[in-house]
Structure 1
Amino acid sequence: MATAREARLETVEYRADQVFGRIGKFLTEHRLSPDPLHYAFAYRVISQPDGVLAKSVAALTEGGIRLTARDIEKLGGQITNGQASTIPEVCDPVAGLVAQTQMQVEGFTDMMHAIRAETQGFGRDLAASADAMRTVDSTVDMVQLTEVMLDRVQSAEARLAAATHEAEELRLKLEEAQSNARSDPLTNLPNRRAFEECFVQHSSGGETLCLAVCDVDRFKRVNDRFGHSVGDRVLKAIAETLLKNCAGHMVARYGGEEFTVLFVGITLEEAYATLERARATVAEKRYRLRESDEPLGAVTFSAGVTQAHPDEFLGSAFGRADKLLYAAKDAGRNQIRRV
C-alpha cells in the first residue's frame, strides 16, 4: 500500500501534468514561443486563476483577442529581443521559504509519529513489567526500563527544541521575505506587486479609486550624462515628493523611472489637484551634484490619471492612465492629463 507521502507525490505529478498542458495551450493560442520567460508568464496566469494577472489577461483577451508584447509588458512582463517575457515565479524567495516550511511540517509529523510509537512501546513494556512484579522481584528491570524511557524522552525533547528553533528562524525569514517582495529596495516604496494587491483589495470593497501613472521626463539623459548613482538619487527625491504630497494614498514604484499612485475615496478632480501639486514641487526644485556642486538643472515628470470604473480590472484602468501619460509626453512633458 502506498504511503501518504507517495500519494501526495502522485497527486503533485498529476497536477503538474495538467498545468504543463494548460501552459502549452496558452502559448499556442497567443502564438508565443515556448522560451522560459514566456513559459513563466503563462505559469503565473495558469497557476493563479483568481489572481490579478489572470483576471487582467481575461479582460484583455475577451472575444478571442491575442495578447501583444505591449500587453504582456504592462501586465508584468519584460521585453527581451522583441519578445514579451517575465521573471519566473519559481525564483521568488517567498516561494522557496514556503516550500521549506511545508517540508518542516512534514518533518514535525514524522517526528510526532515516532514519539508516539516510542511512547506506546514504553507503555507495553511497563505493563509487562507490572505483571512480572506481581510474581517476582523485577526492580532491576524497572530501573533499566525507566532509564531507557528517560533517554528517549530527552532525545525527543532535544529534537523538538531544534525543530522549534528552526521553525522560528523560518518564520522570521518568511516575514522578511514577504516584506521585501512587496517593497522597492531603492526608494523603499511599495513595488508593483504591492500596488496590484492594493488595487484589488480596494476595488473589491466598492471604493472610489483613481489611478495615476507617472514617468520621469528624459530620465535616460540624466543617467547617460551623470551616471546611475545620480539617477538613483533623483528617483529617491521624486519618490519622497510624491509620498509627501500624496499622503494617505498608495504611492508605488512600478518599475524603472515609472511611479503609480492609487487615490482612494476622492474624486478625479481631487486626485488631479493632489498630483499637480507634486508635479509643481518637483519641477521647481533645482538639483546639484553632491560631489562637485555642479547644477543638474530641473527634473520633471509627466502623468496620466483616470478614475477606475466599478469592478474594472487593473489592466484596463492602467492602460487608460498610460495612454494619458503618453499624451502628456507628446504635448511637451511636465504636465498631467486626466479623463
Structure 2
Amino acid sequence: MSERPHEIAEETIAFLRHHLLDPTPQNYTLCFAAHSGAHPALHKALAAISDDGIRVTQKDADELFAQFLTALPPGLTNDEPDFARALRHQALKITDAVNDAAVVAGAFNLELSSDYDRLKTDPANVATILATMLDRSRKAENELAAAMAELQTLRTELEAAREDSNRDAVTNLHNRRALLAHLAELAEAKRDHVLAICDVDHFKSVNDTYGHVVGDRVLKSIGNALSTACAPHVVGRWGGEEFLVILSDTELSDAKRIIEEAREHVAGTRYKLRATDEPIGTITFSAGLVCVNDTDNGAQEAIIRADELLYRAKSEGRNRSIAA
C-alpha cells in the first residue's frame, strides 16, 4: 500500500483533468484506487488503455469501475464499505475545494483583463485603476489561500480515513485488506517472502469463559508480541483468532526462529483478569510457515499451504510451529 496519499490525490486530479473526465466521486475513486497501488489489476487495466497516449473515455471509466470496484474482493466485505464511503465523501469535498479555487482564479483573470482594457481607454485614472487591481489581487490571494488551506485539511482527513481502513479495530494491526494489498505488492515486485499463519489455541474457551472483552485483550496482547518479535516485518490480523505474518526477503529457517521466539514469549506470559487479578491460564498459538516465490500461483495458493501446516501443528498437539 502506498504511503504517499497527498501525491496520489494530486496525481488523481491531474489524471482526470488530462483525460477530460469529470471529477465525480466514482471517477475519483476509480483513479485513486489505481494510482495508490491498492488494486494492481485495476492499475494495469487502466494503463493498458492510456499508456499509448489514448484518452480514457467515460465509457472506459464506467466499465473499469463496474469490473473492478463494484464487486468486493473475497474477505473484504467487512472493511471495504466503510472505506469506500469515506473515500467518496472526501472525494466530493476535495472536488469542491479544487473547483472553488478554479472559480476564484478564473474570476480574477477576467477582472484583470477588464482593468487592463480600462488602462488603455482611460489613462488619466491610472492610479485609481491600479489601486483597484491591487485590491482585487489581495482579495483573490486570500481566497486562494483559504481554498488551499481547506484542501490541505481534506488531504489530512483522507490520509486518516485511508489509514483507518487498513487497521484492525481490536489489535490496531494491519487488517485483511491491508495484508492482501501488501501481498499483491510483493507478488508484483517478484520478491520472495515467508508467510506464517498463527492461530490462538483453544481461543473459543477464553471467550466462552471470560467474555469477548477479555478475549479482545488477549488478541491485542498476542498481536503486540508478534509485532515486537517480527519487527520490521508486516504483522496483521487475518480474522478471528488468526494472525498473518509476512516476512520479506527472509529465509524459512530465520522466519521459523522469529515465530518461535514470539510463540515462546506468548506461552510464557501469565494472563490475568484486569479487574480481579484472577489468572486466565496459559495462552498459546500454533503456526504454519511456507516460502513464497514467483513460481506460486498467487498468494491464495501459499495461504492454503500455510493453513495446511497450521492444522498439522494443531493436530500434533498445538503450541508449535511447522515450516515447509
TM-score range, shorter chain: 0.7 to 0.9
Q: Are 1:336 and 2:314 counterparts? A: no
Counterpart in the other structure of 2:308: 323
Q: Structure 1 residues 279 and 222 mapped into 2: Cα distance closer, same or farther (>3 Å)? A: same
Task: State the alpha-carbon separation in 1 of the partners of residues 60 and 106 from structure 2.
Answer: 28
1: distance between equivalents of 2:81 and 2:301? 24
Quote the offset at 1:119 in angstroms: 0.9
Which secondary structure state, in structure 2, belongs to the residue aligned with residue 305 of structure 1? Answer: strand
1:193/1:265 CA distance change after superposition, 3 Å: same
Runs of 4+ deviating beyond 4 Å: 9-13, 19-23
Residues 302 and 333, structure 1, Cα contact 8 Å, conserved in 2: yes
Match of 2:137 among 132, 150, 153: 153
Worse-superposed segment, 89-98 or 248-257: 89-98
Structure 1's 192 and 92: CA in aligned 2 closer, same or farther, altered over 3 A?
farther
The one-letter amino acid of 1:309's match is N
Q: Which letter maps to 1:91?
A: A
> 1:203–1:209: 8 Å Cα contact kept in structure 2?
no
2:174 is the alignment partner of 1:181 = no
Alignment RMSD (CA, Å): 3.0
Residue identity matched to 1:299: I
Partner in structure 1 of residue 291 of structure 2: 307
* Structure 1 position 21, deviation (Å): 6.3
Answering whether residue 282 of structure 2 is matched by residue 298 of structure 1, we say yes
The CA deviation at 1:112 is 1.5
What is the deviation of 1:193?
3.0
Q: Which residue in the other structure is 1:112 paired with? A: 105
Aligned partner of residue 193 in structure 1, secondary structure? helix
- d(CA) in 2 for partners of 1:184, 1:21: 28
Task: Give the alignment of 1:133-148 within 5 angstroms.
Answer: 138-139=124-125, 142=126, 144-148=128-132
Name the aligned partner's letter for residue 167 of structure 2: S
Equivalent residue pairs, number: 273
Q: Kindly indicate whether residue 89 of structure 2 is the aligned counterpart of residue 96 of structure 1.
A: yes
After superposition, the C-alpha distances for 1:291-322 in whole angstroms (9 at most, x for unaligned) are 11111011111221111122532222122212
More moved, 13-22 vs 205-214: 13-22
* Whole-angstrom CA distance in 1 between matches of 2:263 and 2:201: 11
Structure 1 residue runs without a partner (length 5+): 24-38, 45-52, 54-71, 79-85, 131-137
Quote the Cα distance in structure 1 between the aligned partners of 2:295 and 2:127.
73
Structure 2 residue 3 is the aligned partner of structure 1 residue 18: no
- Compared with structure 1, are the counterparts of its residues 20 and 195 closer, same or farther at alpha carbon in structure 2 (3 Å cutoff)? closer
Deviation at 1:327, TM superposition (A): 2.9
Which has more radius of gyration?
1
Q: Distance in 2 between matches of 1:321 and 1:105?
A: 48
Q: CA–CA distance in 2 between the matches of 1:184 and 1:123?
A: 59
The worse-fitting range, judged by mean Cα deviation, of 102-111 and 258-267 is 102-111
Deviates more, 1:219-228 or 1:181-190: 181-190
Residue of structure 2 in register with 1:245 after alignment? 229
**What letter matches 1:336 in structure 2?**
S
Other-structure match for 2:267: 283
CA distance in 2 between counterparts of 1:201 and 1:318 reads: 16
Distance 1:248 1:154, change over 3 A: closer
**TM-score with structure 1 setting the length:** 0.70
Q: 1:215-259: CA deviations, max 9, x gaps?
A: 112222212221222112111211121122223322122233221
Secondary structure, in 3 states, of the residue corresponding to 1:88?
helix
In structure 2, what is the Cα distance between the partners aligned to 1:236 and 1:88? 24
CA deviations over 1:4-51 (Å, ceiling 9, x no partner): 9xx74599663465357658xxxxxxxxxxxxxxx94x2x4xxxxxxx
Closer, same or farther: CA 111–319 of 1 in aligned 2, 3 Å: farther
C-alpha displacement of 1:280: 2.2
Amino acid at match of 1:265: D
Is 1:129 the counterpart of 2:113 in the alignment?
Answer: no
Task: State which drifts further: 91-100 or 237-246.
Answer: 91-100
Q: Quick check: 2:198–2:287 contact (8 Å CA) kept in 1?
A: yes
TM norm structure 2? 0.73
One-letter amino acid of the structure 1 residue matched with residue 207 of structure 2: N
**Aligned counterpart, 1:196:** 180
Partner Cα distance (1:102, 1:317) in 2: 41
Query: What secondary structure sits across from 1:240 in the alignment?
Result: helix
Cα distance in 1 for partners of 2:80, 2:317 equals 34
